[in-house]
Amino acid sequence: MLLASLLGLLMGLVMGLTGAGGGILGVPALVLGLGLSMTQAAPVSLLAVGAAAAVGAIDGLRHGLVRYRAALLIALLGALFSPLGVYFAHQLPEKLLMGLFSALMVLVAWRMLQREKVEAGPSDHGAASWGQKNCMLNQQTGRLAWTAKCSATLAALGAVTGAVSGLLGVGGGFLIVPAFKQLTDVQMRGIVATSLMVISLISLIGVGGALQAGVRIEPMGWVFIGASIVGMLAGRRLCAQVRARTLQVGFASLCVLVAAGMLLRALA
């Protein structure tokens, strides 16, 4: 139980510090640290990620940072595609799932280490130029302009996030945050808050699908979930005191190490 508490605390802490990316550490912590299988670990990780993300999302809603219409659309499509991911998770071999997860962690590490390009224009936080962004804020109202292109983009993002979430037991923040930066001119604080709301909704839906499929959460899993919420609260308090680049390099290095551990476990 102590190990479950420490691992949950670490995952929540990283999640709070990185703005949702730390959720990808949940499954490796449960598989490598607590000896669960991938199918056992996925719902525990999703519930821990969803509960911790909900804490951050509520804080974002209080401060008016969440783009809640966009979050609800992404979560709706995620809800439709998450059961598909859960279904395939129960059909694919354990070793293949672990290999896929390792590859995903390396991809997240690579994305994290890439230095962002600064472009001229009203928004400088994404790699796309001003004219290339699919979802733009209305300069008068400050809300997203809901064009057909914008709606289709967010719907597609929700579908992919939901399927990956159900398949591998991750919240999807590593997909949502860079996609929002690339395709919208929403500022970073709003992106993180919106991402946390989406993650909380999709994760809880994914947990429901897994429980329906017969997976049960053991007491050790509940300890991990509770500790992750505490870690999330601590991480959000500490994030302003740590340099962003230090967080990026540290998190990416941790992802590569954990990916190597997962791959060795899969090949054993």
Q: How far is CA 103 from CA 127, 253, 255, 263, in A?
A: 23, 14, 10, 9
Q: What is the pLDDT, as a whole number, of residue 224?
A: 92
Handedness of CA 86, 90, 93, 95 (dihedral sign): positive
What is this structure's pTM? Answer: 0.74
The per-residue DSSP string of 116-172 comes to PPP-SSS--SSSS-GGG-SB-B-TTT-SB---HHHHHHHHHHHHHHHHHHHHH----
What is the C-alpha to C-alpha distance for residues 62 and 124, in angstroms, rounded to an integer? 26
Q: What is the pLDDT, as a whole number, of residue 115?
A: 55
Q: How far is CA 136 from CA 70, 131, 142, 185, in A?
A: 12, 9, 9, 6
What is the C-alpha to C-alpha distance for residues 75 and 53, in angstroms, rounded to an integer? 13
Nearest to 40 by CA among 217, 232, 201: 217
Q: Alpha helix (H) ranges present in the chain?
A: 2-18, 26-28, 38-62, 68-91, 94-113, 148-168, 173-183, 188-212, 219-238, 244-267
Q: What is the pLDDT, as a whole number, of residue 130?
A: 41
What is the C-alpha to C-alpha distance for residues 199 and 49, in angstroms, rounded to an integer? 7
> What are the structural domain ranges in the chain?
2-267
What is the C-alpha to C-alpha distance for residues 86 and 227, in angstroms, rounded to an integer? 25
Q: What is the pLDDT, as a whole number, of residue 74?
A: 92
**Secondary structure (H, E, C), 118-130:** CCCCCCCCCCCCH
Token pair in block for residue 127: 């790699």
What is the C-alpha to C-alpha distance for residues 104 and 217, in angstroms, rounded to an integer? 25
What is the C-alpha to C-alpha distance for residues 177 and 194, in angstroms, rounded to an integer? 9
Q: What is the pLDDT, as a whole number, of residue 112?
A: 72
Token pair in block for residue 186: 């929403």
Return averaged pLDDT per consecutive 10 residues of the chain, 268 residues in all. 88 74 78 86 84 83 87 91 87 89 86 57 40 75 85 92 84 78 82 85 78 79 90 79 76 86 84
Contact 163, 86 (CB under 8 A): no
